[in-house]
Every structure is written in C-alpha cells, then in structure tokens.
Amino acid sequence: MIREFNLSDYGNVVDLWRSVGIASSVGDDEAGIEHRLKRDIGLFLVAEEDGKIVGAVMGTYDGRRGWINHLAVCPQFQNRAIGRALLDALETRLREKGCAKINLLIEMDNQKVQPFYERVGYVRDDLIFMEKWLR
C-alpha cells in the first residue's frame, strides 16, 4: 500500500535509508522533514506491507521542476515493483500540481540504481552539479 508519510514514520524511514546506504544530510532531520511536509504537501510517500514501511520516496516541486529524493526500498523487498509503484504515485501527484519535468540526482557511489531509472523512462543528462550550504 502506498500512502503519505507521517512525521511518526520518521525513525522507520531513516532506518530504511540507512539500510540501503542513503546518508541523511542537513535538512533530513525531523525539523527539516516537517518543513518539507508543509511546503511539498502530499509528495513524501511510503510503501507499507503488513504494517511495516518497506519503501519511501520524497518529492519536491519548486513550481517549475519536480525532484525525486531518497527513493529507497528495503533490500529484501526489492524487485517486487515497489520502487516503480512509489515513483508512479509521485509522478502522478507532481503531474496534478502542474509539473512538466522531473529531475533526480544519483550519487557516484550509488550508480547501480541508474538502470532502474532508465527502465522507467529517465535519461541521463550530463551536467555540472554545484552546491552551496547556507547552514
């Protein structure tokens, strides 16, 4: 079952991220997630099986582009179309908000997920990524 994330899911989702090697960063703390939930209503989704969170994805929308963040599925539940279901649900919600293009970033040490995204229609775009932390 796909449903919206609740703040009470925070610990379970962080454990899920850790189990697949996604490191939490600034803004992924509970206060940052709470802020994101208010700004990007309905775009943080979880997949549940038998009451256990087995997948999660955070989406954001800046009014121009949608972003996929931290898509994760528990290792023992991978290859069951859970990631695809989460992505489809998020894409539908972004489309309903008027989003025409979705972006995502893949960490260099996580390139094994690239074929998954290619199978569901994402294409590589060689860009130079730059960042600046304000806190």
In which domain, by residue range, is 17 found? 2-119
Q: pTM of this prediction?
A: 0.89
User: Is there a domain that residue 50 lies in?
Assistant: yes
Q: Is residue 127 part of a domain?
A: no
Q: Cα Rg for the chain, rounded, in angstroms? A: 14
- pLDDT per position in the chain (135 positions), as tens? 999 999 999 999 999 999 998 888 888 999 999 999 999 999 999 999 999 999 999 999 999 999 999 999 999 999 999 999 999 999 999 999 999 999 998 787 787 888 888 888 888 888 888 888 777
| 132 is a domain residue | no
Look up residue 119 and give its amino acid: R
Evaluate whether residue 101 is within a structural domain: yes
Phi, psi (5° rounding) for residue 106? -120, 125
In angstroms, the CA 107 to CA 72 distance is 13
Number of structural domains in the chain:
1
From residue 119, alpha-carbon distances to 36, 67, 71, 123 in Å are: 28, 18, 15, 9
CATH code: domain of residue 78: 3.40.630.30
Of 69, 76, 93, 63, the residue nearest 2 (C-alpha): 93
